[in-house]
Structure 1
């Protein structure tokens, strides 16, 4: 096994030495370096270092793909060698000024919604498990039927599956305040106010069982259970408002007046202006998403499955988190997940073909480990370390993703959650969909594998790639 300390030294040397590094951080799979002078980086030397699966610039950072677990150890060695350490969020702040306005906006969008995803992943798994245990075939194994399930057990499962969505505005407002420089706890309280039991429940209003409260005779006021945009916009404005109030309030009164004025002004704006306006906008976005996913003849799956990993390469894929959350909140299912799962699995299939076909030991090891990573839902090692480097395997992966996505749409597969895909994603399809889910993934992998084996890669590319 290669020595992590030696690998850290080689990385520092290849990127221009300690003096060329502003700071280092890491995420689940990548070492993230803020670099002073890009020209000093020896890209080929970096990519030839043991355990490195690819390297590229993204979001103002030089990101070196090392893989889960490995990145933690090498980051520790890099810090021991004198490089300044940062948390991922601190370094993201340092890089925030890089890129164009759209890239910065998408990056901020991701910073808000990514921390919420673990709670929604857990909720999706709870939905999947409930779907599994409530199937008649499963209950029959224990001599039960759906009629034998007690109301108390149903209530227990509802607590597990509904809580995150009922209080979704609180999660969104908390995270938005955190990202935009406000006090997260004030954001949390503002979000909770939007779902106060004193307000008419949004789902009851939508079902026609309850009427909204009408202020001044024309402004409809309801709770915002499950809503995203009203809480997001209120969070942005609220965080900036809090900062401005804090600058103007005497320090001795800051603890009392700042949260009081922030919450008073913001809940007024949120209920009477922001909520009604952006709830309508949210509905239009959801309608557009549903329209795309409802295209006939599997077109939605074909289109999304083909282009998804191109979007991942650009780094703006986090913008779709909100759409998945909306689908889950509104319909309790997520057809988007099944489609993008195929695009991820296909990139793994292409990398697997490269790994089995090549005679180069380093590329074989890199490709096989990267394909496994893709089958666990993380495609960056396969994309940046193998498929994009040689071009054609990436294209064959896109074709495989389109074919698999097409089948996912034709079969009408719908996940119970989001954010986990391929092998871990099986947990989102335990409600009677597991067989077709496995089938579409195997088709996506097989298509990409065969095309890459036949047309997408040969060892001759190794020599061409070095020129």
Structure 2
């Protein structure tokens, strides 16, 4: 009998048998299953298997944590089940069958736009700044009209700023081919054909008559013509063309001999795609845009304008994703020409503000995640300056729920703006500076919908995350977020002030293991709040004994009433949180006993909490315990030694260095 044969057989039965497994593979620490029906997996039974150390579902995969011996376990599981493993990519592909359409769409958008984020964020910030230079008026003229210097700066910033969005289809087509594993240079060439200078710029299409396009901007093939129209800043045509190119390349590679594939595969894949992009994909996009323009114009002139304000406010952000929002500029211009002002631009401006507010809420929720802050902070600034693509593609669409919160907030603000009859004298200035484009009699009134566009998305983003609404990847453990958590404010503030002002930079605090057991990477934690580092960085310990001791000399700054989590502050100001188990707050203190109270002084190795591991597992809960440094703005945590490994309480697992 193999080392894990009994446990592997038990896991096979607990997971629903061979017939419930669609695909299986493994990584460094986990068995990764794609199940036919996740509900058939008996999680309580799996928890009791000695070899398993927890489980969770992510991206359509049911993952069972095994540890260092996962490769051996996997081989024995395959022998018992008779199921051959697949590659990780094949498992991911199979896992998509467990994802709904929205999850697949968001996942695809995320994979395509993630490599483009640095350029989009920089371009968004620069365009927002140019919006101010070109739109803010002093004494009847703009900044660029008053100052030769700022006019020169504005002109120069077009190069890195607006150029990024003009040529965005090049990046999108490249990223699609990168995701699909096809020839990336063909994606770049395809993208260039969508924005070539030989084409009529997409920004100029709405101001060019059909007659002029037919005369000067079309290819004449004798028995048919094709418009020479570019797709600058457009997302959908570039994505659709990119996927068509990738699928054609894969198709022809199957049938064209390898000896001549380098010649004919690119030719047969690229040329039909370019033709389709200009003859079918692009024109359909413009027809959709024209239809939207007609609906918008009708809504603005109807007796149900207030309802239109709400609907347009909700739907404008999705229009930005498609690139069709450019069609609204023509309507705005015509309204200003006919009536001297437009009530459409205020709605657009409010949508900018709402998307920025939702990103700002994510920053507040995830502020300990420094890597994400590098995206969320500039994205917030960019959106509040009128350019929302970095916010939407960088953060809001990734999590979904802030995007929905922003849409709702924009809808409410848009309805209020329309009811109040707010109009703009000009267009182009977006975000918070957009108030400067509002006609003078409406400026004071516009503050109300602006506040709504900020407050409502922030509140809804917090609510949706807490309630798990529109939220599949960022669910919050109420205990981890402090729903039943009381902090000794005096202790905390005093320690923080001391750490900032009295502790010398470079001071290092050694953090000893508070438990006996196996220490693993924090990313293996089942709860994404811990696994993604949202609460702080550190390690995760699978305890072998239910005794939690002090990891250093310090003070108890927090103790949950349910005794399942405790916060400490070292004498040098490092803050540590130890959370025993996942969702163990639901035990209401059963199985836990504390030997300290909030405000107590503790010494290294002092017993603080005991817990009944068997009882906790019998109740269906994991005992994995994150140990994290929560004040990373002051102390930099670093892991000591290799992970995973067995560790005894008192052995150093982390250091926290004063920044």
Normalising by structure 1, we get a TM-score of 0.55
Structure 1 residues 292 and 119: alpha-carbon distance in aligned structure 2, compared to 1, 3 A threshold: farther
Q: CA deviation at 1:190?
A: 1.1
Q: Give the deviation of 1:239 after TM superposition.
A: 1.1
Q: For 1:150-193, what per-residue CA distance to the aligned partner results, in whole angstroms no more than 9, with x for missing partners? A: 65433212223321232232222222323344322211101211
Q: Look up the match of 2:122.
A: 122
CA-to-partner distance for each residue in 1:9-55, whole Å, 9 max, x for gaps? xxxxxx99xxx994569xxxxx9994467535569x9xxxxxxxxx9
**Counterpart residue number, 2:306:** 297
1:338-397 per-residue CA deviation (whole Å, 9 max, x = no partner) reads: 334556667999x8xxxxxxxxxxxxxx9x979x99x9686899999xxxxxxxxx9xxx
C-alpha change, 1:300 and 1:181, in structure 2 (3 Å) is farther
Partner of 2:189: 189
Q: SS of the counterpart of 1:159?
A: coil
Give the corresponding residue for 2:225.
219
Show the counterpart of 2:620.
Answer: none
Corresponding residue of 1:406: 412
Aligned to 2:235: 228
Bigger mean CA deviation after superposition, 170-179 or 240-249: 170-179
Q: Is the 8 A contact 1:345 1:441 kept in 2?
A: no
- Whether the 8 Å contact between 2:187 and 2:242 is mirrored in structure 1 is yes
Select which of 278, 287, 306 maps to 1:271: 278
Give the conservation status (yes or no) of the 8 Å contact 2:120–2:164.
Answer: yes
456, 472, 477: which one pairs with 1:444? 456
Q: How much does 1:233 deviate?
A: 2.3
- Check whether the contact 1:201–1:222 (CA below 8 A) recurs between aligned residues: no
Question: In structure 2, what is the Cα distance between the partners aligned to 1:238 and 1:168?
Answer: 17
Match of 2:266 in 1: 259
Q: Is the 8 A contact 2:60 2:98 kept in 1?
A: yes
Alpha-carbon distance change, 213 to 144 in structure 1, aligned in 2, over 3 angstroms: closer
Contact 1:304 1:339 in 2 (8 A): no
1:200-349 paired onto structure 2 within 5 Å: 200-208=200-208, 211-215=216-220, 216=222, 218-226=224-232, 227-281=234-288, 283-284=290-291, 296-297=305-306, 320=318, 323=321, 325-327=323-325, 331=329, 335-342=350-357
Aligned to 1:179: 179
Aligned pairs for 1:77-116 (under 5 A) are 92-93=92-93, 95-100=95-100, 103-105=103-105, 107-116=107-116
Indicate conservation of the 8 Å contact 1:299/1:406, yes or no: no
Q: Distance in 1 between matches of 2:227 and 2:60?
A: 42
Name the CA distance, whole Å, in 2 between partners of 1:115 and 1:400.
Answer: 24
Q: In structure 1, what is the Cα distance between the partners aligned to 2:298 and 2:59? A: 31
- Per the TM alignment, residue 127 of structure 1 is displaced from its structure 2 partner at its CA by 1.6
Q: How does 1:68-83 map to 2 (within 5 A)?
A: none
**Are the aligned partners of 2:111 and 2:179 in contact in 1 as well (CA < 8 Å)?**
yes
Displacement of 1:432 after TM fit?
5.6
Alpha-carbon separation, structure 2, partners of 1:255 and 1:122: 37
Separation (CA, whole Å) in 2 of partners of 1:138 and 1:32 = 62
Distance 1:186 1:383 in 2: 32
Structure with the bigger percentage of strand: 2
Any idea what SS the aligned residue of 2:226 has?
A: strand
Taking CA–CA contacts closer than 8 Å with sequence separation of 6 or more, which of the two structures ends up with the larger relative contact order? 1
What's the Cα RMSD here?
A: 6.1
Aligned partner of residue 230 in structure 2, secondary structure: coil
Provide the rounded CA distance (Å) in 2 between the counterparts of 1:282 and 1:303. Answer: 14
Preserved CA contact (<8 Å) 1:170 1:188: yes
SS in 1 for 2:158: helix
Task: Rate the CA distance shift 1:190–1:61 in 2: closer, same or farther, 3 A.
Answer: same
Q: Is the 8 A contact 1:134 1:146 kept in 2?
A: no
Write the distance in 1 (CA, Å) between the matches of 2:423 and 2:123: 18
Alignment partner of 1:266: what SS? helix
Within-5 A mapping of 1:413-424 = none
Instruction: Answer whether contact 2:354 2:410 (CA < 8 A) is retained.
Output: yes
Deviation of residue 198 (structure 1)? 2.5
Deviates more, 1:93-102 or 1:164-173: 93-102
Shift of 1:104: 3.6
Q: Check conservation: 2:310, 2:415, Cα contact below 8 A.
A: yes
The 1:335/1:188 distance shift into structure 2, 3 A limit, reads farther
Give distance in 2, aligned partners of 1:32 and 1:342.
38
Asked if the contact 1:174/1:191 (under 8 Å) is kept, the reply is yes
CA contact (8 A) 2:173 2:188 kept: yes
C-alpha distance after superposition, 1:233-275 (max 9, x if no partner): 2222221111122222222222222222322232233333333
SS at match of 1:97: helix
| 1:21 and 1:36 in contact (8 A); partners too | yes
| Whole-angstrom CA distance in 2 between matches of 1:272 and 1:379 | 33
1:269-305, Cα deviation, whole Å (9 max, x unpaired): 3333333334323554677689899984377558977
Matched residue count: 365
Q: Answer yes or no: is the 8 Å Cα contact 1:346–1:448 preserved in 2.
A: no
Match of 1:161 in 2: 161
Is 2:353–2:431's contact at 8 Å kept on the other side of the alignment? no
Is the contact made by 1:245 and 1:258 (CA closer than 8 Å) also made in structure 2? yes
Identify, as 1 or 2, the structure richer in helix: 1
